[in-house]
Structure 1
Amino acid sequence: MGLDAVNTATAGLRATQASIALVSQNVANAGTAGYVKRSTSPVAQGLNNAGVATGAITRNFDLAALKQLRLETAGSGYTGTKADILGQLEKLYGVPGDATALDGVLNGYTQSLQTLAINPTSAAARSSVVDAAQALATKIGGIAQGVQDLRTGIENTLTGQVQDANALLDSIARLNVQVQTAGDGGTRAALEDQRDQQINKLAGYMDLRVTSERDGSATVMTASGITLVDRGVAAGLSFDGRPTLTANASYDPPETRSVGTLIATLPGGARIALSDEGRLSAGTIAANLELRDTLLPQAQRRLDDLAAGLATATTGRTVAGTVATNPLTNREETTLDLSGMKQPGDRITLQVTGPDGASRNVILVASAFDSKPQAAALSDDATAFVQTVRITPGTPPSLQAIKDALGGLSDAATARGYPAAAVPSLDAAGTAGALTLSGGTGWRVVGGTASVTVPQSISDAQTYPEFALFVDGSAKGLFTDSLDNGAQRTGFAQRLAVNPVVKADTAVLTALGGSATGADATRANFAYGALTQTERTFSSSSGIGGLAAPYSTTLVKFAQDVIAAQGSASAQAQTIDSGQGVALSAAQSRFAEGAAVSIDEEMSNLIALQQAYTANARVLTAARDMLDTLLRM
């Protein structure tokens, strides 16, 4: 037997020992989180492949399964966060049908009005209406405050999540460097395990795309293509969270942003707002941003619309316009009586059609300041053209003020980039008592209404049957839906209160009006009808009835729709999260199939390695015996 055989056997023993050690390592770490099964394959070496050497250590896993696992991890973080917060939001409304839930408290208020209508001379019935109204205002305000508490909680959560994500990015970058400089395969594999664990944790916060480089490093990007880690360099994340959020706190417009912004500072110094729409689409951070900036503000808007409806139900009056065809132009014109349009917030709504036949609403909102364009989302129609029209409070708008507002509206639409055919061309003639609005070339005014606040103050109890029962609990007093100094409707749900004048003298609820004395059921019936029979227009921004157009229904039905919509959204989020949980579990199982250690498989490998070790040992034993024999000769 030659020395080649001895060398071959010796090399085989070393390779087998290394493989046995790797099997032992796999078995010892079978229950270690994040550990990926290792393997090695001996490689031939020497002349005519006469020897064998230990091969490189390989981590055994399915790359496609790992990518799917990260995708489902991000998805689960997103759906789980939404389901949790929307579930908490639903609880704020109470259990439908319960006396203390929103619908139960609203029913108590409407029933108290019915009772008063039957017994208008009863002081107890009048007090019951005030108590029920106060309970309703408290309930709506409590829910709205709960919405803002949820937003504030999310803001604080985002601060912590961004800090965690920042630490993970730094850790991934450091591990990239360590992987590149690892001195042996075992150390490198352990470092790669740690790096994958960090990336998987990061995937819970945001949707990622990971690329393996030839030098062993991993490039980490958001799914939208923003590079977060490039070899040993990580982007820095920052979040300027605010301690408390209110109904006025919003992400847009950027120049007046009053909520935190998530910024990624890239290695070159560029700053990108990851909190902008479309930058992150999955993970807990994306879900929290959507909840904070879209879903919870929409819930607030619904409550504000409900509160505004309650306030204007007994103070507002709608004046319908008269539509006629002008014989000279052969186009429709609308004549409106604007004599009651005396307070900021009173408004004109015109239905117009353009040259292309498309219909739009034009809304002019009374203001104590010069005419200027307003965001359509502040009106009942998020697709409308909205402009303020200047008035002197207590006096209807002048013809010139109306003309200025219409001209300013057209100028604003042009400045925003609307094509000429889509820019309203409207004109006005007449007086506030009979104002005629008409369209220019290609435009028609096919209808219109004026919405006015009849009482001039919270103490104006002489107006009949209109009176102020619900008012703005802040110093703003009478609710007129004004846009001056910020939209009065925004956050109104928290400020909704019962008129202190009515609290002090409940006889207002059944007053005959003017100088007449006595009591009757007119106001009680009027208030009850305004809740249950009169259809009102609610903002398309609330999402009830669709986002494309305003929604008309009774106030009681709107409240029921709000409760149903919130319950449906919560149930849907729970269902989606359950499905995502199944998808995540399947992805984890698929990855584990290739990456997890199988004790049975490792024991089988160990037996084979023991047999190989024994065979190599016999070769060395035979070589030793031969040498002993030769030495005795």
Structure 2
Amino acid sequence: MSLNALNTATAGLQVTQAAIGLVSQNVANAGSAGYVKRVLTPVAQLGNSGVATGTITRTLDAVSLKQLRLETAGAAYTGLAATVQGRLDALFGNPGSSSALDGVMNTFTQSLQALTTDPTSAASRTSAIGAAKTVARTISGIADGVQDLRTGLEAQLGNDVASAGTLLKQIAALNTKVVGATGNSSGDTSVAELLDQRDQQINTLSQYLDVQVSEQHDGSVTLLTASGATLVDHGAAASLAFDGRGTLGAGARYTDDPATRGVGTVTATTPAGAKIDLIATGAIRSGSIAAAVSLRDDTLVQAQRQLDDLASGLSRAVSDRPATGTAASANGLTGVDIDLTGLQAGNAVTLGVRNAAGVGRNLILMPTNGAAPAPIDPAETDDPTALVVPVDISGGASTFADRIAAALGTGFSVSATPGGAAGSVRILSDPASLALTGASASVTVPTSAADTKTGSGQLALFVDAGNGNGVFTGSFEGGSHLTGFAQRLAVNPAVAADSSTLVNYAAATDSGDTARPQSLVDALTSRSVTFSAGSGIGGVSAPRSSTVIGFTQSVIDARGAASAEAQQLDEGQTIALSSAQSRFGKESGVSVDEEMSKLIQLQTAYSANARVLTAARDMLDTLLRI
């Protein structure tokens, strides 16, 4: 019996000693990132009722670990979004300051108003031209900053994809080690250490992209994207690639077609050999990679569109005359008469139509000189929901009616307006089947930058510096002239060289005539201009009508609101991540107080086993002396 007691006490001492060593390890790693608390599970031995060391396991809460990874990916997403939105907002300047966008626009408007009070003042004219140049530089500078942000995100995507690819390989390698170490002897901590390392790598990977983790029976894990593409399968990992484009321009966009895609995309080659475009398939929905893609392809593209629309509105507000259709009817048909005299390529004519069911839609007649793309993307026009119909007007005003009739086809009757000017057309339809509810256009009056004596208040004050200082009309010849116009916005060199053109609109204009200066002021502050729905100001379902000054303020307000919202979302996500970390630490982390309490219990058990061992030894000594 004493021998059994001796063996039992010895086994108890060994188990207690192993447990004390494990407590020591837990306490030593209480602050180690990724360390999960270990526990020893003793195993009772049959026969002599002894005890064996058993196995070392981690107290891992799988639910809290899954939540931690989800919140980690979310925090990386909102963190990057808040940072970029803040930088974008800063590009517009501090609202109200003289150097901010609204400040330079107000200064420009005030300089024109000053010119209306004294058109003969050379100083006032020079001041107005200087203010116009400042506006152009400010808008182009902000637009350049937007593309710098996109270029920075393109570079970050390359780095993040490379880091994520390295992590996938490391996780696959750890899978192999875990499977190989699973058969180690009882009490070996190597498996737990490998599992900690693998979990930490997956947690780090979650900062870049969201993954689904599935544990396998052999101890390995499988990683999948949100769309189900395999990234890691046992010891094999997918390879990630990013074909970055370097410096991005305003026209660099993401498309599914590699031939037209102007930005990089993330491609995964799965362990099975399949190639998947992770952006096209929407496989990455959170993490810094998803945030960078969304900011590069959506947020900043829309910011560029807002600036392009602002530059377009600023230019055309002072150079275009509005044309609005008037009601007309003949032979039971109803419609509109509209004066399109002077219509140039890009001066879209918008027709409101309503079918027999009462459903309304815009139909855009897009004048071209025969070199516009076919079809023209509605998203590049004011109304992305409209039907865009190109009309070749290269034959001149006398052909407008015939060309429009050919473009519209059956269902419409188009003719020159009876008694109207050359270029004035009448468009009619049967109201029972397709009613015309209105027509409008913005016709650019100057035909060239040198055309400063237009005989009216309209003036090509701003021109397209990237198109030979041409007058901006919204043309699609050779592609959309709107895209990137903010970077190319400049003051007309002809006006800058001769400030009197701000007043003289005809050969015999009186030097004190206020007509043109007042027209320029009204164009900015009173005239309602149509801005595209693509700018996202006031919604993305319909074009927005506003003054240029009003639209400028709306853009600034939208940017400030977006930045504030992104900051609030990031703060909320940071709290969610902190809560997830706290919950995971409480369930799976090391509590020093708990370990100290356990150590006291183990010390007591150790002393008890030692006493049993001492008693058994004394009994043996007594027996041997008999």
TM-score grouping bracket, smaller chain normalisation: over 0.9
Which position in structure 1 is the counterpart of 2:460? 468
Q: What is the SS of the residue equivalent to 1:619?
A: helix
8 Å CA contact retained: 2:400, 2:425: no
Residue 298 to residue 323, structure 1, CA distance change in 2 (3 Å): same
Q: Supply the RMSD in Å over aligned alpha carbons.
A: 1.8
367-376 vs 560-569, greater mean Cα deviation: 367-376
Residue 399 of structure 1, CA deviation: 3.5
Match of 1:583 among 569, 576, 583: 576
The amino acid that maps onto 2:146 is: V
The amino acid that maps onto 1:383 is: T
589-598 vs 156-165, greater mean Cα deviation: 589-598
8 Å CA contact retained: 1:26, 1:38: yes
Percent identity (aligned): 52
Which position in structure 2 is the counterpart of 1:628? 621
Which position in structure 2 is the counterpart of 1:499? 492
Which position in structure 2 is the counterpart of 1:418? none
Which position in structure 2 is the counterpart of 1:154? 153
Residue 589 to residue 76, structure 1, CA distance change in 2 (3 Å): same
Which position in structure 1 is the counterpart of 2:353? 352
Match of 1:392 among 391, 394, 410: 394
How far apart in 1 are the matches of 2:520 and 2:297?
35
Q: Say yes or no: does 1:321 pair with 2:325.
A: yes
Residue 50 to residue 344, structure 1, CA distance change in 2 (3 Å): same
Which position in structure 2 is the counterpart of 1:22? 22
8 Å CA contact retained: 1:334, 1:438: no
Pairwise mapping of residues 523-542 of structure 1 onto structure 2 (< 5 A)?
523-542=516-535
Which position in structure 2 is the counterpart of 1:135? 134
How far apart in 1 are the matches of 2:505 and 2:604?
108
Which position in structure 2 is the counterpart of 1:42? 42
How far apart in 2 are the matches of 1:298 and 1:276?
19
The amino acid that maps onto 1:13 is: L
Residue 8 of structure 1, CA deviation: 2.0
Q: Say yes or no: does 1:457 pair with 2:457.
A: no
Which position in structure 2 is the counterpart of 1:101? 100
The amino acid that maps onto 1:474 is: G
8 Å CA contact retained: 1:512, 1:518: no
Q: Say yes or no: does 1:365 pair with 2:369.
A: no
Structure 2, gaps ≥5 residues long: 417-422
Q: Where does structure 1 differ by over 3 angstroms across 4 or more consecutive aligned residues? A: 324-327, 393-400, 514-519
How far apart in 2 are the matches of 1:397 and 1:309?
28
Pairwise mapping of residues 196-595 of structure 1 onto structure 2 (< 5 A)?
196-252=199-255, 254=257, 255-276=259-280, 278-329=282-333, 332-341=334-343, 343-369=344-370, 372-392=374-394, 395=397, 397-407=399-409, 426-431=411-416, 432-438=423-429, 442-463=433-454, 464-476=456-468, 477-516=470-509, 518-595=511-588
The amino acid that maps onto 2:139 is: I
8 Å CA contact retained: 1:512, 1:519: no
Residue 218 of structure 1, CA deviation: 1.5
How far apart in 2 are the matches of 1:367 and 1:195?
61
The Cα offsets for residues 527-576 of structure 1, whole Å up to 9 and x where unpaired, read as 10000001111101001011111111111000000000000100111111
Q: What is the SS of the residue equivalent to 2:69?
A: helix
How far apart in 2 are the matches of 1:434 and 1:610?
102
Residue 609 to residue 595, structure 1, CA distance change in 2 (3 Å): same
Q: What is the SS of the residue equivalent to 1:57?
A: strand
The amino acid that maps onto 2:362 is: N
Q: What is the SS of the residue equivalent to 2:304?
A: helix
The amino acid that maps onto 1:359 is: G
How far apart in 2 are the matches of 1:327 and 1:67?
72
How far apart in 1 are the matches of 2:408 and 2:234?
59
Q: What is the SS of the residue equivalent to 1:276?
A: coil
How far apart in 1 are the matches of 2:403 and 2:371?
9
Which position in structure 1 is the counterpart of 2:55? 56
How far apart in 2 are the matches of 1:5 and 1:439?
109
Q: What is the SS of the residue equivalent to 1:175?
A: helix
How far apart in 2 are the matches of 1:396 and 1:4?
117
602-611 vs 441-450, greater mean Cα deviation: 441-450
How far apart in 2 are the matches of 1:168 and 1:268?
19
The Cα offsets for residues 223-268 of structure 1, whole Å up to 9 and x where unpaired, read as 3332211111111111001110010000025240000011111112
Q: What is the SS of the residue equivalent to 1:474?
A: helix
441-450 vs 351-360, greater mean Cα deviation: 441-450
Residue 31 of structure 1, CA deviation: 1.8
8 Å CA contact retained: 2:402, 2:415: no
Residue 629 of structure 1, CA deviation: 2.4
How far apart in 2 are the matches of 1:434 and 1:21?
94
Which position in structure 2 is the counterpart of 1:421? none
**Paired positions, count:** 612
8 Å CA contact retained: 1:402, 1:428: no
How far apart in 2 are the matches of 1:524 and 1:394?
31
How far apart in 1 are the matches of 2:41 and 2:619?
31
Which position in structure 2 is the counterpart of 1:422? none
8 Å CA contact retained: 2:20, 2:599: yes
The amino acid that maps onto 2:261 is: R
How far apart in 1 are the matches of 2:381 and 2:143?
20
How far apart in 1 are the matches of 2:239 and 2:119?
68
8 Å CA contact retained: 1:390, 1:397: no
Residue 347 of structure 1, CA deviation: 1.8
8 Å CA contact retained: 1:344, 1:393: no
How far apart in 1 are the matches of 2:509 and 2:37?
92
The amino acid that maps onto 2:567 is: Q
Residue 446 of structure 1, CA deviation: 1.5
Which position in structure 1 is the counterpart of 2:420? none
Residue 435 of structure 1, CA deviation: 3.1
8 Å CA contact retained: 1:351, 1:445: yes
Residue 517 of structure 1, CA deviation: 5.4
The Cα offsets for residues 192-243 of structure 1, whole Å up to 9 and x where unpaired, read as 1111111111111112221222211122222333221111111111100111
Q: What is the SS of the residue equivalent to 1:196?
A: helix
Residue 361 to residue 624, structure 1, CA distance change in 2 (3 Å): same
Residue 61 of structure 1, CA deviation: 2.7
Residue 219 to residue 277, structure 1, CA distance change in 2 (3 Å): closer
8 Å CA contact retained: 2:75, 2:287: yes
| TM-score computed with the length of structure 2 as normaliser | 0.94
8 Å CA contact retained: 1:338, 1:435: no
Q: What is the SS of the residue equivalent to 2:615?
A: helix
